[in-house]
Amino acid sequence: MLDEELKTIFQKIDDSKNEMIGFLSDVIKIPALSPEFDGDGEEEKVGLIQRYLEEFGFREFERYDAPDNRVSSGKRPNLIAWLRGKSHEKRLLIITHTDVVPPGDASQWMTDPYRVMENEEKLYGRGVEDNGQSITSSIFAAKALTDLDIKPAYDVGLIFVADEEIDNEKGIKYLINKDIFRNEDMILVPDHGTPDGRLIDIAEKSILWVKISTKGKQCHASMPDSGNNALRAAMKFGVMVDELLHKKFNLEDKMFDHPISTFEPTKTEPNVSNVNTIPGNDVFFMDCRILPQYKTNDVISEMKNVAKVIEKETGNNINIDYILNDPAAPSTSIDSVIVKKLMNVVNLINNNRPFAGGIGGGTCAAIFRHAGHPAVAWETVENNAHAPNEYIRIINMLNDCKVFAALYLDEY
């Protein structure tokens, strides 16, 4: 049941709806694309966010700029805005990212991707979900407290990082190397969630991306004996390895949204351009999401064993190379302070019995866990990030804002 203080805070947030939409609209106008996407980085967007924060009453900032000569400013900005609390012994840190991915095919969008469009209580635009909603909600939760002259129970740090859409080297990993995080920090990464807001992500699977290169001998398709079909060998490998991996790594873990390990063939590279030529080379890739109970290197070993069998049978040569080998980080304990507080607050506000679980996708929370910092990922979203016509529901933005505001207060 809500007390009078929370009711007042929540009313303030509801009254800020149009201001929040206006703020988010201004944020989305600035692309903040990484140089890998031919963009100029996050400097302009971070400058806009800091100006808003100063207008909202924030007075204490820290900047940790990662050098990058590929962008005009020469740096990738990471900004921390502090809202000091009654106690400085512990801190709640909300980590959001300012970079976005490109819009993709413009013809697939109903409107300009960098101009927020409101329609049927939804907001459309590139970056509104990833990560604009959480940037807005975390800021306006703090603004509601400062407007009402309510001090949080402990220091709240709003951290806006660069480079999340590429590899985090200029963002979270850069900050971790600066030793600014403490073991007792409560770390929330609102960059993954579900439409009902029930899932609190405390664990993630290992991620293994594998490249399978098959070599044979190219020839005319009407004379197959004069060549050695690389595609046929690749197809045999794919069928055999698919069956073996699912059979050997077959544990189920109900903590995860998809409770088994997955081994999916995905991308293929062109081999020959015409139908009547047998390919001498073939390349395809697999995306493997592996339960933490297994080692990624064991999966690679089994794939190499299959390759040897196919090589002996066909005379082709098969190389197995991984392009990403990211073993699962230790899970965040369900008994950790941030998990308990978040579960209480989400249940209080949304009345929907949240639960702690794991996912197959990767979030930045895993980077913190690898570094020994318990972290969780949570937000309420439709999961259409990176898609054309990316959108959020306004009600989710408001409710997440209320969750953040309650987290800033110690009794919940």
Summarised one tens digit per residue, pLDDT across range 347-369 is 999 889 999 999 998 899 999 99
Q: 103-136 burial, b if ≥16 CB within 10 A, otherwise e?
A: beeeeebeeebbebbeeeebbbbbbbbbbbbbbb
pLDDT value of position 3: 87
Please report how many Cα atoms fall inside a 13 Å half-sphere around the Cα of residue 25, on the Cβ side. Answer: 14
Phi, psi of 41 (to 5 degrees): 85, -165
Strands (E) across 172-259 are located at: 186-189, 199-204, 206-215, 219-220
pLDDT value of position 1: 56
Which member of 68, 99, 129, 379 is catalytic?
99
Asked if residue 181 lies in contact with residue 373, where contact means CB atoms within 8 angstroms, the answer is: yes
pLDDT value of position 237: 98
List of domains in the chain: 4-204+329-407 (3.40.630.10), 206-326 (3.30.70.360)
Which member of 164, 185, 326, 379 is catalytic?
164
Q: Is the dihedral of CA 188, 189, 193, 196 positive or negative?
A: positive
Look at residue 185 and give its three-state secondary structure: coil
| 348, amino acid identity | L
Which whole-number Å values give the CA distances from 113 to 21, 34, 264, 412, in the listed order?
15, 17, 31, 38
Q: Which stretches in the chain have pLDDT values below 70?
A: 1, 411-412
Summarised one tens digit per residue, pLDDT across range 11-31 is 999 999 999 999 999 999 999
pLDDT value of position 412: 59
Q: Is 99 a catalytic residue?
A: yes
DSSP structural state of residue 408? T
Instruction: List the beta bridge partners of residue 393.
Output: 122
The tokens describing 369, both together, are: 């866990």
